[in-house]
Structure formats: structure tokens, C-alpha cells
Amino acid sequence: MKRLMILILCAITTVSIHAQKWLSISDIFEGKVIDKSRITETLIKGEQLEPYHLTSFHSVKFNATEKERDDIEKAFYTDMTQHAAKNSSGKPNSEMENRGGHLYYAIAEVKPDSPFDRRYICYQCSKGAHATFGITLVCLEGHVSLQDLRKMFKKK
């Protein structure tokens, strides 16, 4: 019985690690799209997040060129559509806002690694100086609803 439990835990861990790879935005978090030296990264797990009903908070913030913004926006849209979690009416559980033909703000629930949590990806883009764009990407996991996230993260 003990061996069976260890095998199950190993399988869940392997699936969890592999599942991170299928998100298109994972390359951004890993520094493959934007050089790590240009990224401000925040990763929080554990007790600090309990008041927010979260188990994981991972964010990256950086300035991007127009081409980088377009590539990141495309990756985010891919994840929003291909990996969307559906609400009870069968529609993607997400909200977004466009400005000037580009994604400005979005929160989308995507399929989680674990059936016990929810996973959200969040995007915000603002015009910066000298034809750059300030972009913030966040990946959240936990027992939180989209309505709760709206209250926690106000649009700028």
C-alpha cells in the first residue's frame, strides 16, 4: 500500500511538472522570450497566500518592444483559447479588455495541474516611454473564483 501511494504521488508530481510546459506563456516566465535581466519576478507559495485562498502566485513584470508585446499577446491568447476552463454554461471563464486593437487587460481560468485547485493567467499591458510597453503576467493557483480575483486586482 505504501508503495502504491508513493507511485501515485510520483505520477502526480510528474504530471504537474509536465503540465506547466503546455502553457505558451511558460516560456516568458522562464526567460526564453524576454531576457531574465529585464524581468522583475515574484514567486510566492505557502502560508502568506492563505488569506487570499491561493496556493501559488507567480508574476513577471518587464518593458517590451512592440514585437515582443505582440508575441506575448499571441501566446496569452493561445493559452486563453486552447487551455480555457469552462464555466457551468460551457463558456470560457475569463474577461478581457482591448485598447487600440491590442490586449490591455485579461484574466482567464485555464485548466489546472490538480483537480483540487483553479489556475488563472492574468495579463496587463500599458504604454511606456519610447515605444515600449509595460507588461505584467501573473499565474495564480488556488481555491479562488474569478469574482474574488476582480476584487483583489483592480485594473489600472
pLDDT, tens only, 40-93? 999 999 899 998 889 999 999 999 999 999 999 999 999 988 888 887 777 888
Q: How many folded domains does the chain comprise?
A: 1
Domain that holds residue 94: 2-152
Question: Across residues 15-42, what is the average pLDDT?
Answer: 79
Q: How many other CB atoms are found less than 10 A from the CB of residue 119?
A: 22
pTM of the model: 0.80
Report H helices in the chain: 2-21, 26-29, 66-82, 146-152
CA distances in angstroms from 16 to 11, 20, 154, 156, listed in the order given: 8, 7, 30, 33
Query: What whole-number distance in Å separates Cα of residue 23 and Cα of residue 35?
Result: 19
- Tens digits of per-residue pLDDT, 94-150? 889 999 999 999 999 998 777 778 999 999 999 988 889 999 999 999 988 888 887
Q: How many other CB atoms are found less than 10 A from the CB of residue 70?
A: 14
Residue 93 CA, chain-centre distance (Å), reads: 14
Residue 39 CA, chain-centre distance (Å), reads: 15
